Amino acid sequence: MNCSDVDGVLDAYGDHELGPEEAANVRAHLDECSACRDQVAARAALAHLIRRVPYYSAPDRLRVAVATARRPARVPPRVLALAAMVIVAVSLGGTTVIRTVRARQTASATTAAAREVVGDHVRALMGAHLFDVRSTDQHTVKPWFLGKLDFSPPVLDLAPLGFPLVGGRVDSIGGRAVAALVYQRRLHTINLFVWPASDSSEAPTDSRSVRGFQVRHWTRDGMAFWAVSDLNDLELEQFVAALNR
């Protein structure tokens, strides 16, 4: 099963409505796909929060009015107002739950992506696949990606600012092909991962440290950017600022 297949049955999987064989196929996919595991966790969190939403029972006056009224129009206006207040309270509670779940989903997805880009950074440094194209010329690196990706990554020459471009490669993050641009700062390597953002709105820079590496994430012009390096915090901030000038 692929991510699209699993996404269509995640609700049924969470409710234990799948047959044994299909459930086993979903579990096998989840063992290999962190993005789909995050979706399962988010659905479980939403179910947990919904169960915690307070239950508002109808007041006795409303119960009596409904039981004895011959026509809906005879329900006292005060009772109708009270019922409306209850509905509004429940709706506001539901809105808060949805916002909380969305915020948790975003944070969870960002954390998972940060771990994955750091893992790819380390593997590229340890292995022989740091470059598919090796060049300091942005006009060589950028055209190289044509036909290899379904988007065109922005490629900047930052050598005048102390961060020379040294090449690039096609990598994989979350099961999709992404551009990995390689920059240098003295003996330090910076991997800049780029792919189309899922949200068109621009997000502020997310700064964190993962396994001793500095990580920066931001979105701009419809693209998601992830910079990873063993540079110190200040110099990686300077790199990000140079890219966003």
Task: Report domain extents, the chain.
Answer: 3-105, 130-243
Q: What confidence category does residue 61 fall into, taking pLDDT thresholds of 50, 70 and 90?
A: confident
Q: For residue 95, is pLDDT > 70?
A: no
Distance CA 231, CA 236 (A): 6
Output the pTM of the full model: 0.58
Higher pLDDT, 225 or 204: 225
Comparing 50-59, 158-167, 182-191, 213-222, the range with the smallest average pLDDT is: 50-59
Distance CA 214, CA 235 (A): 10
162-174 pLDDT, tens digit per residue, is 999 999 999 999 8
pLDDT at 30: 81
Q: For residue 159, is pLDDT > 80?
A: yes
Q: For residue 219, is pLDDT > 80?
A: yes
Distance CA 133, CA 140 (A): 8
Q: Which residue has the tokens 């809906």?
A: 72
Q: What confidence category does residue 217 fall into, taking pLDDT thresholds of 50, 70 and 90?
A: very high
Give the homologous superfamily in CATH for domain 130-243.
MucB/RseB, C-terminal domain (3.30.200.100)
114-137 pLDDT, tens digit per residue, is 999 999 999 999 987 899 999 999
pLDDT at 88: 63
State the burial class of residue 6 (Cβ atoms within 10 Å of its Cβ: 0-12, 13-18, 19+). buried
Q: For residue 231, is pLDDT > 90?
A: yes
